[in-house]
A and B are shown apart, each in its own frame.
Chain A
């Protein structure tokens, strides 16, 4: 009984315990770790992964996966910069266009998966391959930079001179995701479909609509993250933005405790997962340890986290 409870706790709060451990260790060994700017930096670095992994959490909760988010980022980034800088369109129009284009990618995935019943990994593989090419096509693979431009300060803007704008959006997106999962019909349907698709269909849920919606949402978040990253970097690099981001997001979701086969979406777990991954990297950086060690440690943590969850199922 006691061991069982211990196991239950480690499964439920395993990711959180690791996060706390990481913070404590860092507080001791890493100089300047407890400085507020360090915290802001960690969050800014993790911005894209946190935002997109919120969408990925919902996708995985339906029993799916989306490996095309990196390509979606490239598309949004280049469209946003191209319209804003080269065509000198208004900020709002450029952003809307970028987000809309992302949603089209999401709809493509969602329709293949929800309507035509493609395996999610196969469906999103198509845009993972093509999507970046499409993005590169927009500006012939050339990076659009706008340092010193009137927009170049937005991405590094700090509210009241203190709180980076990214933090606000992280907060908004995480809260919105938690709200969707906990408080909306849509969130309930998402989890029901991942938990038992047959029963969901039989009780009259519009599973197709929900699936399409969820992939659109995930792509929307990727497009949004890409737009803000573009503003922060003052450049749109379709060749490199979002490379491998899908893997980081999926890993964050997995560590966070959302089952890869679908079901309960653990939003805060994903946040913790993304932070754990970023903390490992930051810890290496700040202690002048070669960041490649972070990759090795991350991989071990992913395997352990998944192994612990596995026991729950049996």
Chain B
């Protein structure tokens, strides 16, 4: 008894190649409570979780779990200690039956052989206890994500987990599925199991979490009772500054008079996009604000022809377009700089020069034969123009820092002379100096007439650069801010409540 906390992490620090990502963070969870861990990207949430689950080692600090100090060396060890993680991507085995997924590794045996009857029976009971009545002999992949997650939870219960971590578990669930999941969370709570809940959907936090911890920039902001906070207070703790000391970012607003370039109406796709509208004029920088999962990246992917839309239309220069492949979008003068540089941006083993020119080889080749001098010249031009720090044009891109990799990817797209570029979190994970340079570049290219859609989780970045900011909330337009209206306070209000407090800024 004695201790009311199942988990106490004290003074946790972590650095990656001399960049400190966690500054002596304290984090604790009570027994049998649902605790939310909040913070925007780069706040250090996932690093903290990965230290707890043994995927990363910590540089400093102690972890007390169930009264004992633990040093999990890998995920399996953390799991054996009683920490079970339910990921967004299911970490079960889709080809095996539901029952087997619950019991594999600890099969019930009879005379040395696996007793399927017992396993199926017990699994059925276990799931029934969670309010789920399904055929446990069917393969797991024949069920949707929600049920797969519940099966993962059932497995957690079976392996005597004392703490279940749900990392963005609800992000691909619809409202009904979330309701079922919440019922299960309440049942876990009733059994004395603690739940660490991570979600970007604020209403969910206020519905299910007893208390919450907010991280920002790798430091602890505070630990609160959920009931003591308003939604706006929470948002301001996560991303903003306290209302009193908002630093006003100075800038001059432009009046963009170019004609309408891109128009998107009533885009619906899956459960993420529920009818979004957007217009962008020539040479305009439009910001896309909203919490993760609000539909920002998803909208960009639909526009660029990566994902399909279920409904809605896209016009460019007044003509309807239909992109089935990114290649089609590129052919229409679009460019898309993805937020996931590593997976969707760089070609790691190619050189900087190759990475810059690869999408636009006709510029540096004749009859399919590469003109290397030209290729290097193009690379050199951009290395100088946007100050890519490198040992030369022939350096492999994987050996560059994140900021410089990002600049190379930007150079790739800019070298294609696009009419319109979508920048998804272009400055994430990039040091301050490079960040400013990239922002300068964004304004520069818009002055040259290129339209920009800037997706960013950083308000200051939006305020500094955008002519207009479209705020998304839960897959819908929450409102549009322009010129002087673009303030941290207004963006925050729109994200938190869907309304601007001081009037004005109506949704288009």
Using CB atoms, name the residue of chain B closest to A201.
B326
When A198-B343, A263-B349 are in contact, do A203 and B369 touch as well, CB less than 8 Å? Answer: no
Taking CB atoms and an 8 Å cut-off, the chain B residues in 485-499 that contact chain A are none
A93 lies within 8 A of chain B by Cβ: no
Interface with A: B257-265, B274-282, B353-361, which one?
A: B353-361
When A202-B326, A206-B327, A263-B349 are in contact, do A196 and B359 touch as well, CB less than 8 Å? Answer: no
In whole angstroms, what is the CA distance A188 to B361 when docked?
A: 9
A160 lies within 8 A of chain B by Cβ: no
**Contacting A205 at CB < 8 Å: which of B336, B354, B359?**
B359
| Beta-carbon contact of B330 and A204 below 8 Å | yes
**Contacting B343 at CB < 8 Å: which of A184, A185, A199, A206?**
A199
In whole angstroms, what is the CA distance A109 to B336 when docked?
A: 32
When A188-B361, A206-B327 are in contact, do A200 and B347 touch as well, CB less than 8 Å? Answer: yes
| Beta-carbon contact of A185 and B368 below 8 Å | yes
| Beta-carbon contact of B347 and A195 below 8 Å | yes
Find chain B residues with CB under 8 A from A203 CB.
326, 330, 358-359, 412
B346 lies within 8 A of chain A by Cβ: yes
In whole angstroms, what is the CA distance A192 to B357 when docked?
A: 12
Min Cβ gap A223→B in Å is 23
A11 lies within 8 A of chain B by Cβ: no
Find chain A residues with CB under 8 A from B358 CB.
188-189, 192, 203, 205
Number of interface residues of B (CB under 8 A): 28
Taking CB atoms and an 8 Å cut-off, the chain B residues in 321-344 that contact chain A are 325-327, 329-331, 336, 338, 343-344
A158 lies within 8 A of chain B by Cβ: no
Min Cβ gap A199→B in Å is 5
Min Cβ gap B306→A in Å is 7
| Beta-carbon contact of B370 and A199 below 8 Å | no
Q: Could you give, for residues 41-81 of chain A, a 1 whenever the CB lies within 8 Å of some chain B CB and a 0 otherwise?
A: 00000000000000000000000000000000000000000
Using CB atoms, name the residue of chain B closest to A185.
B361
In whole angstroms, what is the CA distance A264 to B398 when docked?
A: 13
| Beta-carbon contact of A196 and B348 below 8 Å | yes
Find chain A residues with CB under 8 A from B304 CB.
202
Min Cβ gap A185→B in Å is 4
| Beta-carbon contact of A199 and B349 below 8 Å | no
Find chain B residues with CB under 8 A from A204 CB.
325-327, 329-331, 359
Q: Could you give, for residues 176-202 of chain A, a 1 whenever the CB lies within 8 Å of some chain B CB and a 0 otherwise?
A: 000000111110110110011011111
Find chain B residues with CB under 8 A from A202 CB.
304, 306, 326, 336, 338, 344-345
| Beta-carbon contact of A195 and B369 below 8 Å | no
Find chain B residues with CB under 8 A from A184 CB.
365, 368-370
Find chain A residues with CB under 8 A from B330 CB.
203-204
| Beta-carbon contact of A199 and B347 below 8 Å | yes
| Beta-carbon contact of A188 and B349 below 8 Å | no
B350 lies within 8 A of chain A by Cβ: yes
Min Cβ gap B33→A in Å is 40
Find chain B residues with CB under 8 A from A201 CB.
325-326
Min Cβ gap A8→B in Å is 13
Q: Which has the most chain A C-beta neighbours within 10 Å: B304, B329, B365, B370?
A: B370
A-B contacts counted at CB < 8 A amount to 70
Using CB atoms, name the residue of chain B closest to A259.
B349
The A interface is mostly helix, strand or loop, or mixed, namely: helix
In whole angstroms, what is the CA distance A200 to B359 when docked?
A: 8
In whole angstroms, what is the CA distance A189 to B369 when docked?
A: 12
| Beta-carbon contact of B344 and A198 below 8 Å | yes
In whole angstroms, what is the CA distance A201 to B304 when docked?
A: 12
Find chain A residues with CB under 8 A from B327 CB.
204-206
Find chain B residues with CB under 8 A from A191 CB.
347, 349-350
In whole angstroms, what is the CA distance A191 to B349 when docked?
A: 9
| Beta-carbon contact of A196 and B347 below 8 Å | yes
Find chain A residues with CB under 8 A from B348 CB.
195-196
| Beta-carbon contact of B350 and A195 below 8 Å | yes
Find chain B residues with CB under 8 A from A195 CB.
347-350
In whole angstroms, what is the CA distance A65 to B343 when docked?
A: 23
| Beta-carbon contact of A186 and B350 below 8 Å | no
Taking CB atoms and an 8 Å cut-off, the chain B residues in 368-392 that contact chain A are 368-370, 372
Using CB atoms, name the residue of chain B closest to A192.
B347
In whole angstroms, what is the CA distance A204 to B349 when docked?
A: 19
In whole angstroms, what is the CA distance A264 to B396 when docked?
A: 12
Find chain B residues with CB under 8 A from A192 CB.
347, 350, 354, 358
In whole angstroms, what is the CA distance A183 to B371 when docked?
A: 8
Find chain A residues with CB under 8 A from B343 CB.
196, 198-199
Min Cβ gap A15→B in Å is 18
Find chain B residues with CB under 8 A from A206 CB.
327
Min Cβ gap B493→A in Å is 35
Find chain A residues with CB under 8 A from B368 CB.
184-186
| Beta-carbon contact of A185 and B370 below 8 Å | yes
In whole angstroms, what is the CA distance A264 to B350 when docked?
A: 8
Using CB atoms, name the residue of chain B closest to A191.
B350
Taking CB atoms and an 8 Å cut-off, the chain A residues in 144-196 that contact chain B are 182-186, 188-189, 191-192, 195-196
Q: Which has the most chain A C-beta neighbours within 10 Å: B304, B338, B347, B365?
A: B347
Find chain B residues with CB under 8 A from A182 CB.
370
Find chain A residues with CB under 8 A from B350 CB.
188, 191-192, 195
Q: Could you give, for residues 194-227 of chain A, a 1 whenever the CB lies within 8 Å of some chain B CB and a 0 otherwise?
A: 0110111111111000000000000000000000
In whole angstroms, what is the CA distance A186 to B365 when docked?
A: 11
| Beta-carbon contact of A264 and B370 below 8 Å | no
When A188-B361, A204-B325 are in contact, do A183 and B369 touch as well, CB less than 8 Å? Answer: yes
Find chain B residues with CB under 8 A from A264 CB.
349
Find chain A residues with CB under 8 A from B370 CB.
182-185, 188
In whole angstroms, what is the CA distance A140 to B350 when docked?
A: 49
In whole angstroms, what is the CA distance A204 to B412 when docked?
A: 12
Min Cβ gap B303→A in Å is 13
Min Cβ gap B133→A in Å is 36
Q: Could you give, for residues 452-476 of chain B, a 1 whenever the CB lies within 8 Å of some chain A CB and a 0 otherwise?
A: 0000000000000000000000000
Using CB atoms, name the residue of chain A closest to B331.
A204
Taking CB atoms and an 8 Å cut-off, the chain B residues in 408-451 that contact chain A are 412
| Beta-carbon contact of B361 and A199 below 8 Å | no
**Contacting A196 at CB < 8 Å: which of B331, B336, B346?**
B346
In whole angstroms, what is the CA distance A26 to B336 when docked?
A: 57
Return 23 A-B CB contacts under 8 Å, by A number. Answer: A182-B370, A184-B368, A184-B369, A184-B370, A185-B361, A185-B369, A185-B370, A188-B361, A192-B347, A195-B350, A196-B343, A199-B343, A199-B344, A199-B345, A199-B347, A201-B325, A202-B326, A202-B338, A202-B344, A204-B326, A204-B329, A204-B331, A263-B349
The 3 closest A-B pairs by CB, nearest first: A204-B327, A204-B330, A203-B359
| Residue positions of A touching B, CB distance < 8 A | 182-186, 188-189, 191-192, 195-196, 198-206, 263-264
